[in-house]
Amino acid sequence: MQESPEKKKAIFFLILLISSATFLGNFPWLTLLLLLFLGVSLLFFLNTQWLQPQLLRWKIQRQGIKGPKPSFLYGNAPEMQRIQAASAASMKASSHGEFLAHDYTSTLFPYFEQWRKEYGCIYTYSTGNKQHLYVNQAELVKELNQNSSLGLGKPTYVSKRLSPMLGNGLLRSNGHIWALQRKIIAPEFFMGKVKDNVNLMLESAELLVGKWYEAIETQGGEMAEIDVDEDLKSFSADVISRACFGSSYNKGKQIFSKLRDLQVIISTQSYLFGLSLLGFLPQRKHKGIASLEMEIDTLIWEEVKKREASSSEKDLLQCILEAAINDENMDENTSRKFIVDNCKNLYFAGHEATAVAASWCLMLLALHPEWQTRIREEMDQLCPNGHLDAESITKMKVVTMVINEVLRLYPPAAFVSREALEETRIGHVLVPKGVCVWTLIPTLHRDPELWGQDANEFKPERFANGVSNACKVPQVFIPFGVGPRLCVGRNFALVELKVVLSFIVSKLSFSLSPKYKHSPAFQMVVSPGKGVRILIQRLKK
């Protein structure tokens, strides 16, 4: 059996210590200093890797919260990996390409599902020296929704691993830095400003459908088979580029491409496990991440300098520039990092999640063509001249129901994750400082007690009377997160989805390709692992 890198390091240091002790045997005072240093180091190690995690676990357990027993140093990570491997092997043995149920949590996150069945909707587990609290009880999620304290922030160990991609921008910062960034960015996504971008979204949708028309002509003139994912990512990237940065996707495509490459590298690691001893990437991938990060930062800064040299309208990039310039606490380097980090956040979050949601929408609409018909019928009533605009988009009830149901079944973000930056109370649970709180969104969205026995079925009609009447506790519908850290781009994303889906359905009919393989995958967002392939036809006039 091959020895692990950690074991090899331990053996190396042991040999080094023995050699050092032998060499220093003739120098008692140096030996004493060495022993003192080793003793302090050992105490520090035991405190951070064992004593502190044990104390946090005890504080949680004395509240009646149970969980799987951790191993020394690694916590429950080895068990998580074993459960994941067993689940993957079982899926490989049993799957024959058939369409699987919409409930994918038992395959993507089997350890959470297994522990939930054993310990209930609240339990504790650990990874390395990090202690976690799993919370999927409706009332506690409701409390989490209403908690406005800055004492709950993004988990620092997750943020650290996502730093090359997101910097210290809005998505991963905490405290007053996060509050400042949100104050600048959030107003740009208020509904009034979002409506001003509907025509821009329609222009990008026309380009998308035009490309699909060409595919139909190329493939014989009647029907075409297409993989929608990349085209939808290009559409969404074009929208966010033009709306927030005053440029088209063609100018920003290098940035988007490199961000995706970086996303793939980071996603291949189990960054959710949070291991301080096992979680390091191989050196080759470290260099790849550093290189990509530098390239992305350089490309964004070049775009920023172009903006500074020209007189442009006041879009989101201009607001970020002005905030950095006017902040007396920022020097030149801090100002540059502030601008670049927030641009990276907007480039990634502004197009990735929306594009993935649109892919899932088309998959489910292809599987349920009756809802395509219902969308067209509503459009005929609201747009008798066939032209979509901001007013008609906001009045569309059917497409809103479809989007909500898709976001219920396939929320792009799988988790709400928070770290107690200070001791915090959530309902009846006192969360000690340093504990990470996790809520698995798809599990909440499919709870039969909240949504009914048809919770795993695609039924947009459940949202006919709005979110508040769709389930027993509407606060558990959280596709855009919870509380004060609710996604700032929520309005923008929903309107963009309405525009692109309405436009596609008004021009094309489509069904699921026989080549489609249902395989949800987690790569920072839950996306179709094998893509979404559909068969499209032009609608007859």
Structure tokens that stand for 177 in this block: 């830095």
Q: The sheet that has 533-538: what strands, in order across it? A: 224-227, 533-538, 508-512
Whether residue 273 is contained in a domain is answered as yes
Whether residue 62 is contained in a domain is answered as no
Helix axes 228-245, 249-267, angle to 10 degrees: 120
Q: Say how far apart CA 185 and CA 198 lie, in whole Å.
A: 19
Question: Which residues constitute the domain of residue 521?
Answer: 105-538
Paired sense of beta strands 436-440 and 415-420, if any: antiparallel
Whether residue 58 is contained in a domain is answered as no
Q: Say how far apart CA 14 and CA 6 lie, in whole Å.
A: 12
Whether residue 126 is contained in a domain is answered as yes
Cβ-Cβ contacts under 8 Å for 234 (sequence gap 6 or more):
208, 249, 253
Helix axes 332-349, 283-309, angle to 10 degrees: 100
Whether residue 65 is contained in a domain is answered as no
CATH number at residue 489: 1.10.630.10
Per-residue pLDDT of the chain (541 residues; tens, 9 = 90+): 455 555 555 555 556 555 655 555 555 655 666 666 666 766 666 667 777 888 889 999 999 999 999 988 788 988 998 998 888 877 766 655 455 556 788 888 999 999 999 999 999 999 888 899 999 998 998 888 777 777 888 888 777 788 888 888 888 888 888 888 888 888 888 888 888 889 999 999 999 999 999 999 999 888 999 999 999 999 998 898 888 777 766 667 778 888 888 877 777 655 555 554 444 344 445 667 888 888 888 888 887 777 766 655 667 777 777 777 777 777 778 888 888 888 888 887 778 889 999 999 999 999 999 999 999 999 999 887 878 888 888 899 999 999 999 999 999 888 888 999 999 999 899 999 999 999 999 999 999 999 999 999 999 999 999 988 999 888 899 998 877 788 888 999 999 999 999 999 999 999 999 999 988 988 788 999 889 999 999 987 6
Whether residue 301 is contained in a domain is answered as yes
- Tell me the whole-structure pTM to 2 decimals: 0.86
Whether residue 33 is contained in a domain is answered as no
Whether residue 289 is contained in a domain is answered as yes
Domains in the chain: how many in total?
1
